[in-house]
């Protein structure tokens, strides 16, 4: 039988009523003739509760025991979902990551999937099981310890299963009814997209859109897994939600498909750094070793052999960056005059595969921001995106203005 993967996020399984609602959706797909692999998250709020208990118990915790605790929320949901399906006379059983097994690296709390051997689950399908309910977010290390994949890891679990079992499609059920041109909470003109290319979704996810985890989109693009994002709370049709697919499946692409934003950005500038080969490697190698994720980078024009280096980073990594750079300076590894941090910035991005063939997007974006009196601090571009760093107080105005300028309310 064909395989369908269905993933239900925390809000979709927040209580027994919602689990029953999700189970009915699963039953519909079973009735269509699918063998279904269901990936479930922990019930809404449960993971945060478990993380809090770990922090309270052991601030300097053993990452292996952390994974053992925080992965337990998904186990509960998987068991409850399997029981609910059994009550509906749907042959189902629950699977924890180690039982599948979902094999990962040993990087606890940020493990990466290495392999998902399909034999165990396929054997149960052959015996008459119709639904395998798998605890998302978790796997097993080469040492036999429970691992977790990082926040949002259930999305990645779902796509990985779809790839491993050559599923017809992977449906991601969440609390929104698809992928929008921008955040509807900021722009009331935001519209749901019927289709979006993998590359566009990957950019939007990495630039602040919260619909899908970035790693899940990377996997889907690599293994050509068709993704569909749907709401758990609305009646469904075969055309519901947003399909994330190959660019070739989209008939005609607008220059811009969406506007993304990231509120929690900071800008740091190292003043008067030596302008010589290898200096950037020293700076960003130090930050990488300190666990800092740098995004936008600008080097100013050199004067008298000295230059300024500016970059953006998440606000929750500022102290880590300041500590790493101070240690580097104190050790004599880098000399700079000052380190200036600005916590009041936001990143705004326009994304669209149509940029490859249509010119003028950057000029239009910059004119729109200029007309609104919004100063651009930093600019970065790629083939299908343009990102700018601006003062955070203008974030919502920038999103709304760009959405209007590119007429995204007409997107479909």
Cα–Cα distance measured from residue 293 to residue 287, given in angstroms and rounded to the nearest whole number:
8
Q: How many residues does the chain have?
A: 412
Tell me the HSE value of 129 on the side-chain side, using a 13 A CA sphere: 19
Known binding residue 298? Answer is no
Q: Tell me if 210 is assigned to a ligand binding site.
A: yes
Residue 304 backbone class (left: φ over 0; alpha: ψ -120 to 50; beta: rest): left
Please give the Cα distance from 208 to 180 (Å, whole number). 13
CA distance 217 to 159: 8
Q: What are phi and psi of 70, to 5 degrees?
A: -70, -20
14, HSE (Cβ side, Cα atoms, 13 Å) = 9
Instruction: Tell me: is residue 308 an annotated ligand-binding position.
Output: no
Rounded to whole angstroms, how far apart are CA atoms 137 and 160? 11
Q: Is 380 annotated as a binding residue?
A: no
Is 7 marked as binding a ligand? yes
**DSSP 3-state percent helix, strand, coil across the chain (nearest 5):** 40, 25, 35
10 appears as a binding residue in the annotation:
yes
Which residue, 170, 122, 120, is CA-closest to 140?
Answer: 120
Q: Residue 242, annotated ligand binder?
A: no
Dihedral in degrees, nearest 10, Cα atoms 272, 273, 276, 279: -160
DSSP state of 152: T
Name every residue whose Cβ is closer than 8 Å to that of residue 227 and which is 6 or more positions away in sequence: 159, 169, 170, 171, 172, 201, 212, 216, 217, 220, 243, 244, 245
User: If phi over 0 gives left and psi between -120 and 50 gives alpha, with beta otherwise, what is residue 109?
Assistant: left
Whole-angstrom distance, CA of residue 333 vs CA of residue 284: 12
d(CA 374, CA 395): 9
Residues annotated within a binding site for substrate? 47, 74
Residues annotated within a binding site? 7-10, 47, 74, 174-175, 180, 185, 210-211
Residues annotated within a binding site for ATP? 7-10, 174-175, 180, 185, 210-211
């Amino acid at each position: 039988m064909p395989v369908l993967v269905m993933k239900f996020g925390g809000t979709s399984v927040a209580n027994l009523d919602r689990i029953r609602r999700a189970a009915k959706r699963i039953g519909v797909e079973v009735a269509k003739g699918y063998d279904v692999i269901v990936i479930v998250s922990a019930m809404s709020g449960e993971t945060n509760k478990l993380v809090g208990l770990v922090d309270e118990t052991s601030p300097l915790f053993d990452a292996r025991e952390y994974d053992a605790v925080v992965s337990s929320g998904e186990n509960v949901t998987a068991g409850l979902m399997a029981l609910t399906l059994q009550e509906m006379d749907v042959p189902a059983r629950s699977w924890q990551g180690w039982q599948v097994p979902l094999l990962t690296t040993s990087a606890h709390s940020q493990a990466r999937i290495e392999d998902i051997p399909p034999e165990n689950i396929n054997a149960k399908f052959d015996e008459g099981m119709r639904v395998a309910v798998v605890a998302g977010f978790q796997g097993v290390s080469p040492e036999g310890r429970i691992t977790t994949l990082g926040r949002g890891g259930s999305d990645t679990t779902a796509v990985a299963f779809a790839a491993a079992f050559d599923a017809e499609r992977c449906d991601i059920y969440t609390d929104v009814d698809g992928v929008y041109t921008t955040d509807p909470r900021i722009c009331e003109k935001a519209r749901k997209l019927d289709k979006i290319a993998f590359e566009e979704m990957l950019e939007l996810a990495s630039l602040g859109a919260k619909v899908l985890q970035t790693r899940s989109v990377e996997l889907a693009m690599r293994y050509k897994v068709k993704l569909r994002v749907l709401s758990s709370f609305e009646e469904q049709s075969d055309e519901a939600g947003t399909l994330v697919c190959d660019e070739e499946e989209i008939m005609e692409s607008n220059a811009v498909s969406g506007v993304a934003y990231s509120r929690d950005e900071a800008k740091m500038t190292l003043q008067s750094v030596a302008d010589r080969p290898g200096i950037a490697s020293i700076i960003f190698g130090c930050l990488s070793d300190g666990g800092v994720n740098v995004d936008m980078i600008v080097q100013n024009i050199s004067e008298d052999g000295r230059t300024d280096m500016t970059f953006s980073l998440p606000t929750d990594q500022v102290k880590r960056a300041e500590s790493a750079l101070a240690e580097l300076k104190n050790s004599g590894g880098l000399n700079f005059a000052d380190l200036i941090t600005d916590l009041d910035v936001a990143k705004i991005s326009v994304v669209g595969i149509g940029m490859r063939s249509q010119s003028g997007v950057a000029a239009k974006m910059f004119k729109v921001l200029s007309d609104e009196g919004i100063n651009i601090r930093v600019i970065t571009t790629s083939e299908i995106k343009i990102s700018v760093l601006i003062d955070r107080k203008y974030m919502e105005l920038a999103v709304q203005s760009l959405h209007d300028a590119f007429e995204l309310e007409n997107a479909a």
